[in-house]
Amino acid sequence: MSTPTITADASQGRASELEELGKALRRVFAGLRRLRGRQARLGAQEVSHAQFELLLELLERGELQVGELAEAAQVTPATVTGMLDHLVAGGHVERSHREQDRRVVLCRLTERGRGEVRAFKARKKERWERALADVPEEDLRAAARVLDRVGSFFEEA
């Protein structure tokens, strides 16, 4: 059984494609950095990208302790507490204490918060679908596989 040989042209072509992928990832990361600096409008209130991430965690996972939110957002509980102050003041989140242990602070979306986060997500989903409408499903699957591999690369770095 013969071992496939990679020609110099194929090797150079692959190197070129990997370089283009790296450039595309840098553009994505730059866009994400800009996104993180923007405010999102939820009803009459503006929330930061980081605050919106907390709202998404609460929407997806339900009631959470401050420490669980901090872990999900990869920030300190003190940082989450400050972010929650803003979200509580805006009527998006409510806090309560666990009856068995009053030191434990529980957070959950209010009905208003849940509705506004769902509406925001629906608008973003429409934009996402429009942006990728002409990309074949096979390419979307390939992109997902590549991004998973890139994510693993960063986890191991």
- Residue ranges of domains in the chain, CATH in brackets: 40-151 (1.10.10.10)
Which residues in the chain belong to E strands, given as ranges?
A: 39-42, 45-48, 64-65, 93-97, 105-109
List, for residues 120-153, the tens digit of each pLDDT value.
899 889 999 999 999 999 999 999 999 999 889 8
| pLDDT given at position 1 | 55
Reference 120, options 36, 28, 43; nearest CA is 43
Reference 109, options 97, 94, 121, 87; nearest CA is 94
Q: Within a 10 A sphere around the Cβ of 83, how many other Cβ atoms?
A: 24
| pLDDT given at position 25 | 87
Q: Within a 10 A sphere around the Cβ of 129, how many other Cβ atoms?
A: 9
The pTM score is 0.70
Q: Within a 10 A sphere around the Cβ of 54, how many other Cβ atoms?
A: 26
Which residues touch 109 (CB under 8 Å, ≥6 apart)?
Answer: 55, 58, 59, 92, 93, 94, 117
List, for residues 48-88, the tens digit of each pLDDT value.
888 888 999 999 999 999 999 999 988 899 999 999 999 99
